[in-house]
Structure 1
Amino acid sequence: MKTVTALVEARVAASPEAIAIVDDTGVTTYGELNRRAEEIAACLVARDVGRGSLVAVRIGRSAAMVATWLGVLKTAAAYLPLDGSYPEARQRFMLADSGAEPVLDGAEPQIGLDATAARVEPDDLACVIYTSGSTGLPKGVMIEHRSLAGTLEWYADATGLSPGDRVGQTAASGFDVAGCEIWSALAAGAELHVAPESVRKAPEELCQWAAERRLDVLYMVTPLAQLAVENGWLDRAPPRVLTTGGERLTVTPPPGARYRLLNMYGPAETAVVATCAEVTPGSEAPPPIGHPIAGATALVLDAAGLPVAPGVPGELYIGGAGVGRGYLGRPTLTAKRFLTRAGERVYRTGDLVRRRIDGQLEYVGRADDQVKIRGFRVELGEVEAHLRAHPDVSDAAAAVWTPARGHSRLAGYAVGLFDPLEVRRWLARRLPAHMVPAVIVPMAGLPLTPNQKLDRAALPDPARLPDTAALTDPGERVLAADWREACGVVVRGPGDSLAELGADSLDLILVRARVAARTRAPVPADLLTLTQPLSEQAALLAALPSLEAAATCGRQAP
């Protein structure tokens, strides 16, 4: 069995002068990356860091972050990525819950010490990735070297990675996919190109950046990948392989597409990827999640733990080398989710799938209240716990809905006397952006089943709620409807902006697309921004000659 460090160090020895990483600061060779990692390892060893230690790393996506992760691994310790965009309260919880120390922020001195080379073993812990928790608190998933190394080798083989290839790095540092992007590229001797923050969440700009960098392999989280495929943004200079995952894929490449599309599935508990399907251009959507990757197994079982027949939905259990060690400091939860079935250790995913006639797995849904938002796992129970903690909220619920084009959104439902916008701001100080509901719906009471449990299916669709905004301008009213239909935000007045209502760059693209579809006229990409008030956006759109003409034609139509 191999380790992540052994895979990377083999490439360092083979081609120390080859380019390893390209980021905003410049170019880093494999030799330079290794020397910096060894300096960091020396600093850590001097602080008694070694096997069994967990080191928190809070550095933005860059060559410095990768060198620090590698330096931690060289001591036989594990790294805990801390995303600096997360609220301080959540970062403090992750540090207290994990006991990780020290916290590296990129300011480690180059003290010139030589670290005593630690022998890293396959069953050593490589990293801890925090995910949303159903109890209201996030939990840390422990991944060993053997699990991650197996995924890296599969990924390199599936994408055809070889020395000199160019690989994009787009995932957030706290997202498990980031490790797959980074270590698979370096283990293959490829160049890792770090996408700037300004483009990594905007699919059109990201595709343009990838074309300029002539990338061979690019990962895009599902909502971004869907927009890129649908709009042909990859066609000018496509990567050899586009990989995606995180949510249900609902599109396929057009016939004749010049790139391969791999639809990957896998919880963090199974080292990023557990199954994969290559999507045939022009095939019927939605695509399946495929077959288990090399070294993985998949069981589809009923409520009694017995295999189901092909075509019958059942719960997916993943086995094989990729299954993680469990949850950090949570033995009871580990015992509940990491089980033994058919003589092997498996992870109970909670995902419902069915096995097709061709043997591929097809995603059906969830057996619990877990959802995916922008590829991140979100436990509705954690969102609800934070909503109930607000001093003006007496009861709360959360749900997911899809206002447009497969873009999942969170909705919060709260009982009490409160300002919905203030509640959103309050949540934003405590939860990552992907866990803050796009809209908070005031409720007199929550709908209940005859058994007095929450009837989540009876919660009102936010897109169908009556408009309470005091808008008198016809153009503003129409645009407010576009905002709601495209990304689920509810306008309260002409001074509201998309950014203030919780929308992001992907939502702005959806708004622009909806306006263009409604008016049958193009909307310049740089015309609208997230920070513009509704009134300003409406005025800019009204002044566009193409939209004026479209509106005139519409009035003259019989």
Structure 2
Amino acid sequence: MKLADLNLLPDHEQQRLLQESKGPELPFPTEATIVQVFRERAAESPDVRAVVFNSSSLTYRELDDWSDRLAGELSAAHGTRAGQLVALCLNRGIEMTVAIIAVWKAGAAYVPIDPETPDERVRYMLDDTAAPVVLCSDVYQGRMKRIAAAGTAVRAVDGPWGRAARGGGAAAPAKTGAHAGSLAYVIYTSGTTGKPKGVMIENHSVVNHVCVISDLYGFAGKPGQEVMLQALNYAFDGGIVPMVLALLTGNTLLHVSDQLWLEGDKFTEYLRGNGVTHMNGTPTFYKHLGLGEVPSLKRMVVGGEALDAACFREMTRANKVAVFNEYGPTEATISTTSHMVREYDLAIGQPQANSSVLILDEALRIVPVGAVGEVFLGGPGLARGYLNMPELTAERFVANPFQSEVEKADIAHSPDGRNARLYRTGDLARRRSDGALEYVGRNDSQIKVRGFRVELAEIEATLNEHPSVTQSAVLPAESGRYGLAAEVTSLVGFYIAAEPLDVGELLRHMGTTLPSYMVPTELIHVDALPMTVNGKLDVKALHALRHDVDSDSVAPRTELERKIQEIVAGIIGVEPAKVGVEDDLFGLGLNSILVIKLISALNNELGVDIAVPSLFMAPTIAELTEIPELQAVQVTVPQ
């Protein structure tokens, strides 16, 4: 017998750690659908504000009625029913909430698509889901019709079709066939194969999560007491949290526009005026808020990336409120551990109610306290699996070797019993002596960018598809963060080709299939990828190559170029002289967050209306001045 085959833990210690891996049991309505819970809240609190966006709002009665009629239209005109997937491409606002509730009332599940997603990726998602209907904002209707396959219905929720449904039309079907095990949503995350993968979440998992979190944070059974901020992207599961927490507990959901949260004083005033009590966000989100005092605020929840000391200080600078650090992947329905942070530490907390969080070795054995192992998750929050990917589902969702005889006998919802599966996360952690879990890193190349999961292999596959690229590697631009889920703000790509390629052309190639947060901010030509003596990629040597790349900056030739140079330098935080008009701005440090700030600054100072994708298509100042919105701009030289 090999030493690695020995179980070094005594039975009594293994049983103790097995118990510590489980959160408390909390009853929840296991047979209920999301719609059933929502209807109960609407009946209890019909006049409570359900959703607010700027100066518009709907009560629970109004939201229930409008979503009823929209669901009726989906069922009557398009045959939407249980088991189907409906794609959404929507801007933030009340219509987004109405559309999601309507899809659920029709018995279907929704697939959120970020409007900034490139056409090719959208086309892949629509084909993969076989969505018969796309609900979108009116401004995207033409684009969605062009991308969607023939026969796919495309309807604008804020257009004549959606407004007509609000004023009248068929009511929602009384029976849809949907049940607690029906799909609620499918969220696409980055995949190692070069294509994103759709995570399938069922109704009962969402209902369980709402019951667990509302009990944990003390607002279960207290309708009309909370105002929850919807600030994150709805295509990311962190963006789902405020909606289901608010609408399934009888509280208020507050939408905020994409630009407002970057304007600290205005954003703070918006939260004050609406009496916000609850915020969810990633560390990247909180660091860039510049949030002032909000007297109504009760708690701030952070997740999606590793919480660091700088973020904790920023979160508590103006508001001395409860801060909770949550951990959990999309495959486990939003979060599985929670930790109230009183002073900064590395803990991601302990298992939430109804969840189990096991730290196991390669042989699926429980590791001792303090030892590093892979995180395996269990409980009713586990996803059904990956859409149309049975092999990957079988690889990541494995049989639970610790399922008890009592759990095996509980076959009410599954022939395999309760707690029959575990999800292997790829995350590495250790259990401390106080029972809290500490996140250590990854056992693969998955990272987090702005809270979004990113598989570096998917980016490399896209870069390798360029006809002139023979091999590539992509890393976090921040040295030392490879494989960790700490905040990553930008990526750098290294590629092998016969000769250096045009960076702008390469970025455009990648931008046609990858969302902006997955496009590297630097692309560096190399003759070979350095390897270690063990045959692995030499990350340190690659980062060292970045410092060997020289560039000759070209000074501004026009007043417009000079003005843009000043604006860019102010956003990036460098001297204007260090920004050449033909330098790739992403290579100078522009990242996905700063892009939004730069676009806002250009629009405000130059009086134009540039969209975010323009910057990815024209990543130098020289190219930017050639886009239609800037060609007519006249810059006055100061006297």
TM-score normalised by length of structure 1: 0.83
- Which AA in structure 1 matches 2:62? E
Answer yes or no: is the 8 Å Cα contact 1:21–1:28 preserved in 2.
yes
Which structure would you say has the larger RCO, counting Cα contacts within 8 Å and 6 or more residues apart?
Answer: 2
Give the 3-state SS of the residue equivalent to 1:137 in structure 2. coil
Unpaired segments ≥5 residues, structure 2: 1-29, 137-156, 404-419, 557-561, 599-603, 625-639
Answer yes or no: is the 8 Å Cα contact 1:226–1:250 preserved in 2.
no
Identify the residue that residue 134 of structure 2 maps to in structure 1.
Answer: 103
Change beyond 3 A, Cα 1:510–1:407: farther
Give the 3-state SS of the residue equivalent to 2:240 in structure 1. helix
Identical amino acids, percent of aligned pairs: 33
Q: Which moved more, 1:113-122 or 1:389-398?
A: 113-122
How far apart are 1:422 and its partner, in Å?
A: 2.4
Tell me, yes or no, if structure 1 residue 325 matches structure 2 residue 384: yes
Answer yes or no: is the 8 Å Cα contact 2:349–2:438 preserved in 1.
yes
Give the 3-state SS of the residue equivalent to 1:460 in structure 2. helix
Distance 2:273 2:547 in 1: 42
Q: Map of 1:422-433 to 2, 5 A cutoff? A: 422-433=505-516
- Which AA in structure 1 matches 2:255? V
Q: 2:258 aligns with which of 194, 197, 205?
A: 197
Answer yes or no: is the 8 Å Cα contact 1:23–1:195 preserved in 2.
yes
Distance 1:157 1:193 in 2: 21
Answer yes or no: is the 8 Å Cα contact 1:401–1:461 preserved in 2.
no
Identify the residue that residue 495 of structure 2 maps to in structure 1.
Answer: 414
Identify the residue that residue 132 of structure 1 maps to in structure 2.
Answer: 190
Tell me, yes or no, if structure 1 residue 459 matches structure 2 residue 490: no
Q: Map of 1:140-155 to 2, 5 A cutoff? A: 140-155=198-213
- Which AA in structure 1 matches 2:173? T
Change beyond 3 A, Cα 1:451–1:15: same
Identify the residue that residue 277 of structure 1 maps to in structure 2.
Answer: 339
Q: Map of 1:12-411 to 2, 5 A cutoff? A: 12-24=42-54, 26-46=56-76, 47-105=78-136, 106=157, 107-108=161-162, 109-110=164-165, 112-118=169-175, 120-161=178-219, 162-164=222-224, 165-200=226-261, 206-228=267-289, 233-235=291-293, 237=295, 239-251=297-309, 252-253=312-313, 258-280=320-342, 283=343, 285-341=344-400, 342-343=402-403, 344-402=420-478, 406-411=487-492
- Which AA in structure 1 matches 2:96? M
Give the 3-state SS of the residue equivalent to 1:177 in structure 2. helix
Distance 2:325 2:86 in 1: 32
Answer yes or no: is the 8 Å Cα contact 2:490–2:591 preserved in 1.
no
Tell me, yes or no, if structure 1 residue 503 matches structure 2 residue 564: no
How far apart are 1:3 and its partner, in Å?
A: 2.3
Distance 1:528 1:289 in 2: 45
Distance 1:365 1:462 in 2: 25
Answer yes or no: is the 8 Å Cα contact 1:3–1:122 preserved in 2.
yes
Answer yes or no: is the 8 Å Cα contact 1:168–1:195 preserved in 2.
yes
Give the 3-state SS of the residue equivalent to 1:91 in structure 2. helix
Q: Deviations over 1:520-542 (max 9, x none)?
A: xxxxxx99999898899xxxxxx
Change beyond 3 A, Cα 1:415–1:269: same
Give the 3-state SS of the residue equivalent to 2:473 in structure 1. strand
Change beyond 3 A, Cα 1:484–1:318: same
Distance 2:69 2:567 in 1: 54
Identify the residue that residue 22 of structure 2 maps to in structure 1.
Answer: none
How far apart are 1:92 and its partner, in Å?
A: 0.5
Answer yes or no: is the 8 Å Cα contact 1:57–1:79 preserved in 2.
yes
Change beyond 3 A, Cα 1:402–1:11: same
Give the 3-state SS of the residue equivalent to 1:22 in structure 2. strand
- Which AA in structure 1 matches 2:388? G
Q: Deviations over 1:402-444 (max 9, x none)?
A: 3799543211111223112321232122211111111112212
Change beyond 3 A, Cα 1:207–1:242: farther
Q: Which moved more, 1:454-463 or 1:45-54?
A: 454-463
Identify the residue that residue 552 of structure 1 maps to in structure 2.
Answer: none
Q: Which moved more, 1:338-347 or 1:253-262?
A: 253-262
- Which AA in structure 2 matches 1:332? E
Q: Which moved more, 1:478-487 or 1:382-391?
A: 478-487
Identify the residue that residue 5 of structure 1 maps to in structure 2.
Answer: 35
Identify the residue that residue 436 of structure 1 maps to in structure 2.
Answer: 519
How far apart are 1:508 and its partner, in Å?
A: 7.3
Answer yes or no: is the 8 Å Cα contact 2:282–2:302 preserved in 1.
yes
Distance 1:263 1:495 in 2: 42
- Which AA in structure 2 matches 1:412? G
TM-score normalised by length of structure 2: 0.73
Answer yes or no: is the 8 Å Cα contact 1:235–1:258 preserved in 2.
no
Q: Which moved more, 1:429-438 or 1:2-11?
A: 2-11
Change beyond 3 A, Cα 1:236–1:496: farther
Q: Deviations over 1:76-120 (max 9, x none)?
A: 211111211111111110010111221122244526113321254
Q: Deviations over 1:181-225 (max 9, x none)?
A: 101111121111101111245667644532343310111221122
* Root-mean-square deviation over aligned CA pairs: 3.6
Answer yes or no: is the 8 Å Cα contact 1:78–1:125 preserved in 2.
yes
Distance 1:430 1:299 in 2: 36
Change beyond 3 A, Cα 1:309–1:483: farther
Unpaired segments ≥5 residues, structure 1: 512-525, 537-558
Change beyond 3 A, Cα 1:462–1:79: farther
Q: Deviations over 1:370-392 (max 9, x none)?
A: 11000000000100011111223
Change beyond 3 A, Cα 1:527–1:290: farther
Q: Deviations over 1:467-522 (max 9, x none)?
A: 4142679x99x9999889979xx9772465858978357437999xxxxxxxxxxx
- Which AA in structure 1 matches 2:331? E
Distance 2:56 2:338 in 1: 34
Answer yes or no: is the 8 Å Cα contact 2:553–2:583 preserved in 1.
no
Identify the residue that residue 539 of structure 1 maps to in structure 2.
Answer: none
Identify the residue that residue 630 of structure 2 maps to in structure 1.
Answer: none
Answer yes or no: is the 8 Å Cα contact 1:60–1:173 preserved in 2.
no
Change beyond 3 A, Cα 1:322–1:218: same
Give the 3-state SS of the residue equivalent to 1:425 in structure 2. helix
How far apart are 1:156 and its partner, in Å?
A: 2.1
Q: Which moved more, 1:418-427 or 1:170-179?
A: 418-427
Answer yes or no: is the 8 Å Cα contact 1:410–1:438 preserved in 2.
yes
How far apart are 1:449 and its partner, in Å?
A: 3.5
Change beyond 3 A, Cα 1:460–1:484: farther
Q: Which moved more, 1:267-276 or 1:250-259?
A: 250-259
- Which AA in structure 2 matches 1:134? T
Distance 1:94 1:54 in 2: 11
Give the 3-state SS of the residue equivalent to 1:45 in structure 2. helix
